[in-house]
Amino acid sequence: MSTGAPAQFAIRGQIVEGQHLVPGAVVVEGDHIVRILRGPVPDGDLPGQVIEGAIVSPGLIDLQVNGGFGHEVADDPRALDALSAALLPSGVTTYLPTVVTAAEAFYPKAFAAFRAADKRAGAVPAGLHLEGPFLSPAKKGAHQLKYIEAASDALFERWLENNDIALVTLAPEREGANARIRALVERGIVVSLGHTNATYEVFIAGVDAGASKATHHFNAMTAIHHRAPGAMVATMTDGRVTSGIIPDGVHSHPATVRLALMAKGYDRVLIVTDMMSAAGLGPGTYGLGGQQVTVDETSARLADGTLAGSILTMDQAIRNLVAWTDASIAQALHMCTAVPARLMGWNRKGQLRAGHDADITVFDDQLQVMHTIVGGEVRFSAD
């Protein structure tokens, strides 16, 4: 769906600057941003083609994508390519394909599929997120218990030989968890604590070991009790932890989203969709990690009613945040751009700055995506 891009062009509108919107324009040359112009910018000050929009944002980043639009993150590089292309209309420019808990023999196939995928097919898959299998059996959610229980040291050691892993979700109470956290962090892999039945103290020990994120805050976590605060409170009260939240109104009630924002602020909360293969398609029966998932108008669930990923898209997540919370448009976008980029150490993404990658999402005044620009190339236009 690419329309290409000239050697130099500009995008004009209200641009995201930190947690604020300011009038201006972004000038792009090749694959990077070369200038930011602030204030009303007349045509004569802009080079070449000018793309107009109401809001000009850094490209959206989603760190938890199990699939979407009929495609599952698994062992087929063609499915990854199709997923990358399908994410563009929702404004996503960078994402982490997320592999749910699987048999040990499956992981080499998933790694091979990622390496074979076309990184220019659409949104850029920037690394794999391995969600499991080192999770709590008591908080397994839709992950298969047999693979959680079979997770071995040998599997983990083989992971450490792979350079395509960007993020790992694990439970800090599993035996050997803190040693695993330290080993991953030493290799530049971000660790997120999730699917956990940990006490407050055990969760904090995982953070001390180097974990810096919480996976889908409030979901598959130790519940809050005033004498045993657990993982939910640890996430909200430890400033080292960035909270990942799914604002679909199903995984997290709008009030809990507001609570997390009040506790953490807009700089320590990031938005993920946790979308699965049914996102964007409508009700029906779909697959997730070898299990059958039934989807209605609002949720995706296993036969026993357990939530199995979401059908949320990132652009809808932003509209939900603005509708449900005190977050401004710029603050909502900040949580989908600058915050995940900082967490992952992607220093050229997440902000509109000279020298940064020209990954840009352009919205209209209703927060509908008009254009998605990846590496200076307009890969989606709504017209």
Please list the active-site residues. 274
Distances (CA, A) of 212 to 113, 191, 196, 341, 360: 27, 6, 15, 13, 26
With a CB cutoff of 8 Å and minimum separation 6, the contacts of 346 are: 61, 94, 126
What whole-number distance in Å separates Cα of residue 308 and Cα of residue 320?
20
Instruction: At 313, give phi and psi (nearest 5°).
Output: -110, 160
Distances (CA, A) of 179 to 171, 186, 231, 240: 12, 11, 19, 19
As beta bridge partners, residue 28 has: 9, 33
The candidate with the shortest Cα–Cα distance to 270, out of 204, 342, 221, is 342
The candidate with the shortest Cα–Cα distance to 73, out of 26, 33, 106, is 106
Instruction: At 44, give phi and psi (nearest 5°).
Output: -65, -20
What whole-number distance in Å separates Cα of residue 362 and Cα of residue 370?
5
What whole-number distance in Å separates Cα of residue 234 and Cα of residue 137?
20
